[in-house]
Amino acid sequence: MATAAVPKVHKNFINGEWIESRSAGTIENRNPADTSQLVGMFPSSSNEDVNLAVDAAAEAYKKWRLVPAPKRAEILYRAAETLVKRKEDLAKDMTREMGKPLSETRGDVQEAIDMTYYMAGEGRRLFGQTTPSELPNKFAMSVRQPLGVVGMITPWNFPMAIPSWKLMPALVSGDTVVIKPAQDTPLSTYNLVQILSEAGLPAGVVNIVSGAGSVAGAPLVAHPNVAAVSFTGSTETGRLVSLACAASFKPCHLEMGGKNIIIVMDDANLDLALDGAVWGGFGTTGQRCTATSRIAVHHSVYKEFLDRFTERAKALKVGDGLDPDTDMGPVINETQLQTVLKYIQIGKDEGARLVTGGRRIESGPYSRGFFVEPAIFADASAKMRIAREEIFGPVVTLIPFRSFEEAIEIANGVSYGLSASIYTRDANRAFTAMRDIETGIVYVNAPTIGAEIQLPFGGTKNTGNGHREAGTAAIEFYTEWKTLYVDYSDRLQRAQIDTGGFGRVSD
């Protein structure tokens, strides 16, 4: 007689070994599409676990920083090769713990593959500058230096892609790491670190402590031997991270919320704009910091766009992400589901018109999951809370406008500044929008989601604090500059003072 498989009990990864948490507490990782499925048990780490992990990373840093960057990169390259081979299994693990459709989790793993290959290439491109000195017989240059131990706190919506954005540039730069994955989706980060270890990463270079942010994340941020912190999550938590780091002048990189907009002009290709709106609004169940949560539509095409968008949303199949026919999976947990339902009620109370969706789906196979119908609000004002506050769920708000200038004003009228999009055939409007929209990312004739790893990713205002992930911009955070001067004149030369009379060069 067949019996159910015993769920795997995971441990922290510290100094190259899987070890029990000192707290002995555990956290259940359950499938949000069917909470009867226990994906695994993970440690509920304590301050003591964080201390052990930071100590291991600090010790490993002494040798890791001296490994030539091309050799560090070879480890990343081997890890990327393994990620390619295991992509399907890794994607299925991710769907079970996070809920998004398998097509999307394959993309999440692919993003980790792309980032790992890309940063492996940077191992031979950690360029500095050489520049002429103002003095004779003097050489001037700059080089990049690693920071030390970096603390990383990652979110649940991209549980392998975002850890890879942080881990790979830090590792190729010569930093060591303690990473705390989101407690809802730790398995994908565990899988990624396991592959790095198999690829030859030395013990202590990357360490994992799992658990709640208040118990494991806070002491990691505050630890005196953590040189820098990279955080992706809510703006509210990011503010706490920033304040904790400020006390010791610790650099921190923050990637936080978004309230992203698609602008649909009167000359837009509506078929294309609708494709972008459906994917941007309901892809990943709207649980992306770049999700399209509001759409400003020119009044002359507003009714047609609304009718067709509503029809498309109604046709989406909500269900288990492992079902190949599923278009949209569950939200991550009960708390997030209640947040989404709360905002749907707020939208109704504010006077926006709910044209479709917005109800929890609880019947039959949905009874054990966190499912909600994709929701569309119409005829909203840009000042409504549903048009200004991040919901992080499958809720899209439509706002009519009459002029291009009004659309730009709507786009910029929120506290966030991550991603924006405009659909238009007018090149002048497109370039003006790219210039005037106050976001870190602007798309033309594409949705607000779909960033590629070779370019900087990040936002303005309450979305970020000036740093960027991905591309070579990521290296800027994980390294610091050191300027070097070599004077081979065999005499004292004083910059800014002994700069005249260059006839002395041959003295």
> 149 is written with which tokens?
């131990």
For the CA atoms of 399, 460, 239, 168, the dihedral, rounded to the nearest 10 degrees, stands at: 120
Query: Choosing from 122, 255, 373, 390, which is the catalytic residue?
Result: 255
Question: Rounded to whole angstroms, how far apart are CA atoms 113 and 95?
Answer: 17
In the structure encoding, which two tokens stand for residue 260, read together?
């992203």
On whether the CB atoms of residues 26 and 46 are closer than 8 A, the answer is no
Residue 491 has a CB neighbour count (10 Å cut-off) of 10
CA atoms lying within 13 Å on the CB side of residue 399? 28
End-to-end CA separation in angstroms for the chain: 95
Strand pairing of 479-487 and 138-146? antiparallel
User: Which residues, 6 or more positions from 427, have their beta carbon under 8 angstroms from its beta carbon?
Assistant: none
- Is 207 strand, coil or helix? strand
| 46, 215 contact by CB (below 8 A) | yes
Strand segments (E) across 224-364 = 228-232, 252-255, 260-264, 292-298, 353-356, 360-361
| CA gap 32, 110 in Å, rounded | 22
The answer to whether 289 is a known catalytic residue is yes
Marked catalytic residue, from 289, 373, 390, 469: 289
Q: SS3 of 465, please?
A: coil
- Residues found in the chain: 507
User: Per the structure block, which two tokens stand in for 352?
Assistant: 């926006």
Residues with a known catalytic role: 255, 289
